[in-house]
A and B are shown apart, each in its own frame.
Chain A
């Protein structure tokens, strides 16, 4: 019925019939790749181990979690961290609502515009954040037509839009990559002729099929928002980025503990993506 098992069997026999010389070549190659791998691990792991070790040395003469308890009990940490997490969720939602329909539209109706759109989505990487931030401040200050910075809610909304701009390159690329694996045009037409409207097409067909791609976009957005400094500082919002900078300048061990915490969260997110991918049976085949 399916030809998968058969294909696998073929691959196995192929491996057995590889001549000895090729196998020797391959083993030289594998030694080299192992060396690169070990080097890579050391390169990334050593600073990390050093940082973890340092973060545990707040109490003189012995290892302890003092730096961590100090950070976690700091009401400033709790407030800024919560604020940034909420902001990142808002940003992710905003980004998806903006980017998914846009990316779909470009693929279905304006395929020739794709390079242009791609270029536009790259602009936030090219233009320094501070320029974007000042642009926003000029456009939306209290004496402008749309005085967003006049209220806390307005400023928060402005910040979310700013974050969405920063996340745009990653969000667009993640979603576009997800759509690339689909024949968007034909699937859309297949759904339309069965009576589906845009809402159904978006949420029953496209979204589930790009879900893992969306998650990786969401995850990147999350880490960007969590660490972002310039926007939050210029708009004077109590975000996690400015807090980290402030701690870095004023404490010794706590910044290391903070970094370890941030790192753990990041890795936790990655694990979640893997897990979520496994929840969707149809995505198993595409790997």
Chain B
């Protein structure tokens, strides 16, 4: 049995159901991200786990024990908030030691633990400062240390990086992940930033309208999105409508060309199937192993540094493709005609209807 089990969790505020039949089994030491647009219920799930909200239905178990009926201060969970929420009247050391003091840990033991935590977050000398004397990134690291000090069973983070500027966000992302792995603490991380979710997590839960649309490793979520929503929300793609020729063999026609997809289809021949293509799956020019060649006209060139994102009109479809920047190869000019090669198995099937 898994360490943290969330079973058929439901939450309604008045008539609105904000979380619908949410299920997940989290292994000990696993890093799970809840990813979804604003208002999809991520925070609510986290607050249900924390014990700040009571579920309308369903149960939450930690380490084999049902905690659904326990209040927030009885669950031994650590939490980091978007707004840091450090206690302004306490020093950094007192903030970090707060949970230990509440738990009645002996003074010397607590002091040692606080020092250990401050070392862990790389701020060993700032114990005597007050929160207002710290930068945002430092405050959030102190908040992390405060959450970890009492050795909680589960760590919850609600968009902890959203209030920080871009550079710190990326470095703190790595730091949090590294600390999490070092301590082996079971973690749920809420974010609306797919890059954060994909780069940090063992598994990602993509949420939409209170429902977990897909749960899987970042590689799986990105390459095999289970629903059109997941395909659209995680990464970008170009959508195509193709006609099924042979569902059992996965053969369709697209703009006159016949493609053999990497999977079989359920619908009958003649039906329309929606396909998606990631920008990196389309290749400028011809190449071995990319048997389908489309002709397009370059409509837009976005130079982004390491990557150049091109938009090409293939028939009526605006196809997005990425190429790596190479100093000796300038991107094709707008209006030029180009060959674009694609491997049929790289098409993602969105739905068969």
Contact of A190 with B73 at beta-carbon distance under 8 Å, contacts A2-B133, A3-B135 already known: no
Sorting the interface of chain A by its residue count into under 10, 10 to 19, 20 to 34 or 35 or more gives 20 to 34
Q: Decide if B130 is an interface residue (CB 8 Å cutoff).
A: yes
The smallest C-beta distance from A206 to any residue of chain B, in angstroms, reads 9
User: Which residues from 71 to 125 on chain B have a C-beta closer than 8 Å to any C-beta of chain A?
Assistant: 71-79, 81, 83, 85-90, 98-99, 102-103
Q: Is the CB of B81 within 8 A of A194?
A: no
Which of the segments A120-128, A142-150, A180-188, A228-236 contacts the partner chain?
A180-188
**Interface secondary structure of A, over-half rule:** helix
Q: Decide if A192 is an interface residue (CB 8 Å cutoff).
A: yes
Give bound CA distance, A189 to B89, whole Å: 16
Choose among A186, A194, A200 the residue with the greatest number of B CB atoms under 10 Å from its CB: A194
Q: Is the CB of B72 within 8 A of A282?
A: no
Q: Is the CB of B85 within 8 A of A285?
A: no
Q: Is the CB of B83 within 8 A of A194?
A: no
Q: Decide if B278 is an interface residue (CB 8 Å cutoff).
A: no
Give bound CA distance, A113 to B130, whole Å: 34
Q: Is the CB of A209 within 8 A of B98?
A: no
Give bound CA distance, A182 to B74, whole Å: 25
Q: Is the CB of B89 within 8 A of A209?
A: yes
Q: Decide if B52 is an interface residue (CB 8 Å cutoff).
A: yes
Q: Decide if A94 is an interface residue (CB 8 Å cutoff).
A: no
Contact of A209 with B88 at beta-carbon distance under 8 Å, contacts A193-B73, A285-B133 already known: yes
Choose among B50, B71, B72, B73 the residue with the greatest number of A CB atoms under 10 Å from its CB: B73
The smallest C-beta distance from A180 to any residue of chain B, in angstroms, reads 13
Give bound CA distance, A3 to B134, whole Å: 8
Q: Is the CB of B102 within 8 A of A186?
A: no
The smallest C-beta distance from A226 to any residue of chain B, in angstroms, reads 30
The interface residues of chain B lying within 8 Å CB-to-CB of A209 are 87-89
Q: Decide if A1 is an interface residue (CB 8 Å cutoff).
A: yes
The interface residues of chain B lying within 8 Å CB-to-CB of A190 are 79, 81, 85-87, 146
Q: Is the CB of B85 within 8 A of A189?
A: yes
The interface residues of chain B lying within 8 Å CB-to-CB of A193 are 50-52, 72-73, 75, 77-79, 147
The interface residues of chain B lying within 8 Å CB-to-CB of A196 are 73, 98, 102
Q: Is the CB of B87 within 8 A of A187?
A: yes
From A182, A186, A189, A195, contact of B99 by CB (8 A): A195
Contact of A195 with B102 at beta-carbon distance under 8 Å, contacts A282-B130, A285-B130 already known: yes
Q: Decide if B219 is an interface residue (CB 8 Å cutoff).
A: no
Which residue of B has the minimal Cβ distance to A4?
Answer: B133
Which residue of B has the minimal Cβ distance to A181?
Answer: B88
| Per-residue contact bits, chain B 48-69, to A (CB 8 Å; 1 contact, 0 not) | 0011100000000000000000
Q: Decide if A265 is an interface residue (CB 8 Å cutoff).
A: no
The smallest C-beta distance from B188 to any residue of chain A, in angstroms, reads 13
| Per-residue contact bits, chain A 1-36, to B (CB 8 Å; 1 contact, 0 not) | 111100000000000000000000000000000000
Choose among B51, B52, B132 the residue with the greatest number of A CB atoms under 10 Å from its CB: B132
Q: Is the CB of B135 within 8 A of A194?
A: no
Q: Is the CB of B73 within 8 A of A2?
A: no
From B89, B130, B132, contact of A205 by CB (8 A): B89
Which residue of A has the minimal Cβ distance to B94?
Answer: A204
The interface residues of chain A lying within 8 Å CB-to-CB of B52 are 189, 192-193
| Per-residue contact bits, chain B 21-60, to A (CB 8 Å; 1 contact, 0 not) | 0000000000000000000000000000011100000000
The interface residues of chain A lying within 8 Å CB-to-CB of B247 are none
Q: Is the CB of B133 within 8 A of A194?
A: no
Q: Decide if B210 is an interface residue (CB 8 Å cutoff).
A: no
Rank and list the top 7 A-B pairs by shortest CB-CB distance, nearest first: A194-B99, A285-B132, A208-B89, A190-B85, A186-B85, A195-B102, A192-B72
Q: What 8 additional pairs, Cβ within 8 angstroms, besides A186-B85, A194-B150, A282-B88?
A: A189-B81, A190-B79, A190-B81, A190-B85, A190-B87, A190-B146, A194-B147, A195-B76
| Chain B interface (Cβ < 8 Å from any Cβ of A) | 50-52, 71-79, 81, 83, 85-90, 98-99, 102-103, 130-135, 138, 146-147, 150
11 contacts between A and B (CB under 8 A): A1-B138, A2-B133, A189-B52, A189-B72, A189-B85, A190-B146, A193-B73, A196-B102, A200-B102, A209-B87, A285-B132
| Chain A interface (Cβ < 8 Å from any Cβ of B) | 1-4, 182-183, 186-187, 189-197, 200, 205, 208-209, 280-282, 285-286
